[in-house]
Structure 1
Amino acid sequence: MEWIFEPWPWYVAGPLIAGIMFSLLFGGKTFGMSSNLRTMCTIGGAGKKADFFNFDWKSQRWNLTVVAGAIIGGFIAANFLSYDTAVHINPDTVETLENFGFASAGGAYLPNELFATDALTDPKSLIILLIGGLLIGFGARYAGGCTSGHAISGLSNLQLPSLIAVIGFFIGGLVMVHLLFPLIF
């Protein structure tokens, strides 16, 4: 059982993802995490206020199960299936992050300076999280889906808009890391 505690190699995880995608394609379904926000808003009654939310949400119950599985699976993996939660990244990257004020760099998947409960009392961290969340939500809606929907479902369906979106996500990530990140921190 030791293998369950280690990261799985690409040649195991990749075919598993491909198998899930084939089953979704044959079932006439598409995968995407951001579409669940629309479903949850519809369940909450947003369809009475905006036509965008007026659809049969029950047809998307299966995708809500994906979200629940991701949350439960992440909790189990982090709390019961992980010996070492340190992130193994390049020492130069750790040094750069430490220079930006991230003392937890290389020791945690999410930097404590932004994601610990103490960060919610720091106005700068709170503003960064709120603006970042709004930009991600707007970007996912504007692009017609999130990175998982476009990169996994869209590309496996050979959709040109998904290829364009994935290239845009990649360029946006590079701009954030190399231009905006140093300005913010």
Structure 2
Amino acid sequence: MSWIFEPWPWYISGPLITVTMAALLFAGKNFGMSSNLRTLCTMCGGGKTCEFFCFDWRSQRWNLIVMVGAVLGGFIAMNFLSNDTAVDINNDVVTQLQQMGFKSAGSSYAPSELFGNEAFSSVKTIILLLIGGFFVGFGARYAGGCTSGHAISGLSNLQLPSLIAVIGFFIGGLIMIHLLFPLIF
């Protein structure tokens, strides 16, 4: 049963995603996490102040359950199914990250400098998280969906706007990691 503690290879997770997407397509549903923010705002009365939030949020209950499942699944995986082994990445990358101040690079899956409680002790990190959160939220709304919605659902529906968005996500990621990340850290 040790396989449950290891990352699953693409030939297992890929077909599982395919089966999930096929079931959603046959059910007439579109997958995406960012649409849950609109649903949550509507549930809290956002429709009283903005027409964008005027829709039947009950039709999206299934997607709220997916969101809750993703949060619970992440919690369970991190706290009960994680063997806390170091990530197998290139030693040169580990050295570069450690030189930038990420001392935990190579020893844990997510650097504690950004994802641990110590991130909240640095004003710089808090500001970066707030700015990053704003850009992610704005980008998801402006692009008409998030990375999961466009890359998984949109591409499986052969939607050209999703292909353009995914290409933009990759270009943005490359710019961030190669140009902006070294400047920030």
Gaps of 5+ in 1: none
Q: Which residue of 1 aligns with 2:138?
A: 138
Work out whether residues 86 and 109 of structure 2, in 8 Å CA contact, stay in contact via their aligned partners in 1.
yes
Deviation at 1:85, TM superposition (A): 4.1
d(CA) in 1 for partners of 2:144, 2:75: 28
The reply on whether 1:50 has 2:50 as its aligned counterpart is yes
Deviation at 1:18, TM superposition (A): 0.3
Q: Which residue of 2 aligns with 1:113?
A: 113
Q: Which residue of 2 aligns with 1:71?
A: 71
d(CA) in 1 for partners of 2:30, 2:153: 6
TM-score (norm 1): 0.96
1:35-76 deviation digits (Å, cap 9, x = unpaired): 101111111111111011111000000001111111111111
Equivalent pairs: percent with the same residue? Answer: 71
1:88-139 deviation digits (Å, cap 9, x = unpaired): 2111111111111110112223322222223213110110000000011101
For residue 167 of structure 1, give the secondary structure of its aligned residue in structure 2.
helix
Gaps of 5+ in 2: none
Q: Which moved more, 1:106-115 or 1:129-138?
A: 106-115
**Letter of the 1:116 counterpart:** G
How do 1:89-104 and structure 2 match up within 5 A? 89-104=89-104
In the alignment of these two chains, the number of paired residues is: 185
Q: Which residue of 1 aligns with 2:23?
A: 23
**Letter of the 2:180 counterpart:** L
The reply on whether 1:158 has 2:158 as its aligned counterpart is yes
Q: CA RMSD in A?
A: 1.0
Q: Which residue of 2 aligns with 1:126?
A: 126
